[in-house]
Amino acid sequence: MFINNFDPVALQILSFEIRWYSLAYIAGILIGWILAKKIFIKDLEINKKFDDYIIYLIIGIIIGGRLGYILIYNFNYYIHNLLDIFKIWEGGMSFHGGLIGIIFASIIFAKNNNQNSFLYMDIVALVAPIGIFFGRIANFINSELYGTVTNVSWAVTFIKVDNFPRHPSQLYEALLEGIFLFLILIYFRNKFLNNPGAISGLFLIFYSIFRFFVEFYRVPDEQLGYIFLNLTMGQIVSFIFILLGLILFYLKNENR
């Protein structure tokens, strides 16, 4: 059994702290940006404009992720503590909210440049698992989004939580939503090069399936608990995104 007692602060200079979670965001964006430019973008016009698009993307992730967490997971708290909405450094980001933010940012950017927004979203879908991987590793280091109590041999005790052995659900997500999802999308990439939107649909489908599955081994948000049919909010939202992904993939797959 592994004992998790990591310090969430990677580096501290006087009173200034650099946290692993911040580094995970930076690493995910930078590596995804480089891979997109060097490997995945074949269209010269898209490649030229992708640097400007990244600015829209970052804004979409931050605003969407924050608003998603507030509206979906902790509305009652923030409606009575409005100033805390801006305290992003204290945590509280939703992946699904960030995803919606990316969609809106892509639509706005593509419209301003008279382009198909799915050309950008498909690229983001291909590299997003890299950021997800680093993000889940950061969750593990921070002892957050931890799993349920278990007796499996690979259980982890999160000292900052309690002394019970738990599923390392963050690592499950890093493996499935990060590595496996990346490999799946790379496999399908060449099959749908001429079908903008198909890869985005596959991303929604497989990410949501993996997330839905791992939620069975993850402790639900304390302020919400189990919502409906013993499902968590994450599972309910994931189910909705599975349906959206299936619809999108059907509409964009010309070989259906």
pLDDT in tens, the chain (256 residues): 799 999 999 888 888 888 898 899 899 999 999 999 999 998 889 999 999 999 999 999 999 999 999 998 888 888 888 888 887 766 678 889 999 999 999 999 999 999 999 999 999 999 999 999 999 999 999 999 999 999 999 999 999 999 999 999 999 999 999 999 999 999 999 899 889 999 999 999 999 999 999 999 999 988 788 888 889 999 999 999 999 999 999 998 866 5
The residue type of 11 is L
Please give the pLDDT value at position 62: 92
Task: Give the range of the structural domain holding residue 209, as residue numbers without chain letter.
Answer: 2-252
Please give the pLDDT value at position 52: 95
Q: Tell me how far CA of residue 173 lies from CA of 3, 108, 189, in angstroms.
A: 19, 30, 22
Q: Count other Cβ atoms within 10 Å, centred on residue 115.
A: 18
Please give the pLDDT value at position 72: 86
The count of C-alpha atoms lying within 13 angstroms of the C-alpha of 110, restricted to the half-sphere facing its C-beta, is 15
Helix (H, G, I), strand (E, B) or coil at 238: helix
Q: Look up residue 17 and give its DSSP letter.
A: E
Helix (H, G, I), strand (E, B) or coil at 67: helix
Burial letters for 64-87: b for 16+ Cβ neighbours within 10 Å, e otherwise? bbbbbbbebbbeeebeeeeeeeee
Please give the pLDDT value at position 90: 66
The residue type of 246 is L
Q: Taking a C-beta distance cutoff of 8 angstroms, is the pair 34, 188 a contact? A: no
Please give the pLDDT value at position 174: 97
Alpha-carbon distance of 82 to 98, in angstroms, equals 20
H or E stretch at 244: helix 233-252
Only one residue has tokens 């790379």, namely 186
Number of domains in the chain: 1
CA-based torsion, 120, 58, 234, 146: positive or negative: positive
Q: Taking a C-beta distance cutoff of 8 angstroms, is the pair 33, 47 a contact? A: no
